[in-house]
Structure 1
């Protein structure tokens, strides 16, 4: 009964995300596998699943909404909070002494659809957010975080993005090797903060703009690697302007330093997951 209720609820949510017919997107999808980090798993969004619990995987993340619309015969969501490209091929130890197996082990030659949301942890997402939120409050009219990452004369975060590109490329090759017939979609990151000269505690406007440009550069890198690998890229930043973490509760799709709805700080909330799911379904409908 519980599983049936969950399926019904997810189907209702998915239809609300994509009111048009989903049959165009569903054609030929028999086995869907979701790979990725916390922006895929849905950290702290209810209900959190326990396979393992430390992965912070929600039953309302965008893969769950997409699968409710597509209704493939087989669905495996192996996304995990904190995952890097390395965890696609190596196990990941998570909170609670759990282990998430190498994510690529979920792929088979029969896999028809793969979504991959990865890259932020390769450039040190937690370190970046922690450093910026700590430093920015010391100069609310300046850009202490930006200056910190430029202290050597270059842009350290830009260099991190560039150095992550070969790892993303290698990951996409490995995905192709394991599931050569699958449609692969690389999922970009939504707008986390605004580049419009607006700040929100504890980020100064200058640092918010710097972080926005950094994640824009990350998305551009992911799009380029997807193009070079011959796979699709889903731009989730488009359409999310005005819904970043600096917007009021009820408007934002990404939570700020203090989450006002159930979600991890600086991560998508349930509304953000619905946005990403709609972008994925739109990409599938577009072929």
Structure 2
């Protein structure tokens, strides 16, 4: 009689333990060996307080990859995202950080390929007509050439890290249209800039899905926290100039980090 009662109880304990292990395994696997790839929106340019050894890559401990790693303590963390990186830069200079034991990858890339930084400079310095032309050129590139470039990056990630969970993040709207802002750029230009971000983000989402990667859209988190809103999570034109039009520390903590963490 005693053996009959103990055995079912022991079996129940084993089942419960097994279910707990199964529930925990995805998070444990995801956080095991983490590599952060990408451009300035992943390196943390705009947050200040850069890591000295990163040089011109402007990596910051206030960037979402470093914040996530500090909170989750993965067994290894390779932070190789770099300011100004294009898809070619990621392929040539960053993918070597990946290997078959990598379990989690994050990346934002594509904006520099489309010339978004140059378009922003034109919009700020050269007026609305020139802005619209520059933005339309960026959108044209994003629609015609960026898909193939992203496919190459994503294929490279999968080849080097075949078992990794890959989270692809996009870019926020920069401006609150109709918001209170003293900087002299028209709402027409601001709307065009936001529209370019939408075009680039749409391409990124489509190619990430085709690669079987998880896509994280940060735009909802940044709503009402754009430049010219009452609570900016992005830098407007500032000194040093390279920090302009990038998320500040609040943008990484409240904008990017929750989107990434929900998918990691």
Task: Specify the TM-score bucket, using the shorter chain as the normaliser.
Answer: 0.7 to 0.9
Where does residue 157 of structure 1 map in the other structure? 138
2:156 to 174, 189, 192: 174
SS of the residue 1:33 aligns to: strand
Q: Which has the larger radius of gyration?
A: 2
Equivalent pairs, count: 237
Equivalent runs, 1:190-209 vs 2, <5 Å? 190-194=172-176, 196-198=177-179, 200=181, 201-209=183-191
- CA distance 1:144–1:24, change in 2 (3 Å): farther
Where does residue 264 of structure 1 map in the other structure? 243
Equivalent runs, 1:268-283 vs 2, <5 Å? 268-274=247-253, 275-283=255-263
- CA distance 1:103–1:240, change in 2 (3 Å): same
- CA distance 1:204–1:168, change in 2 (3 Å): same
1:148 aligns with 2:133: yes
Where does residue 14 of structure 2 map in the other structure? none
2:193 to 180, 187, 211: 211
Where does residue 3 of structure 1 map in the other structure? none
Measured against aligned partners, the alpha-carbon deviations of 1:169-204 in whole angstroms (never above 9, x if no partner) come to: 11000100000000001111122123x445842321
Where does residue 127 of structure 1 map in the other structure? 118
Query: Is the Cα contact below 8 Å between 2:132 and 2:192 reproduced in 1?
Result: no
Where does residue 32 of structure 1 map in the other structure? 34
Measured against aligned partners, the alpha-carbon deviations of 1:216-259 in whole angstroms (never above 9, x if no partner) come to: 111111000001111110111112111011224xx111111136
Deviation at 1:145, TM superposition (A): 3.6
Query: Is the Cα contact below 8 Å between 2:167 and 2:214 reproduced in 1?
Result: yes
Deviation at 1:82, TM superposition (A): 0.4
List, as ranges, runs of 4+ consecutive aligned residues in structure 1 with deviation greater than 6 Å. Answer: none
CA RMSD of the aligned region, Å? 2.2
Where does residue 100 of structure 2 map in the other structure? 109
1:236 aligns with 2:221: no
SS of the residue 1:238 aligns to: helix
TM-score by length of 2: 0.84
Query: Is the Cα contact below 8 Å between 1:33 and 1:111 reproduced in 2?
Result: yes
1:43 to 42, 45, 52: 45
Task: Give the distance between the partners of 2:208 and 2:95, measured in 1 at CA.
Answer: 17
Task: Give the distance between the partners of 1:253 and 1:44, measured in 2 at CA.
Answer: 10
SS of the residue 1:51 aligns to: helix
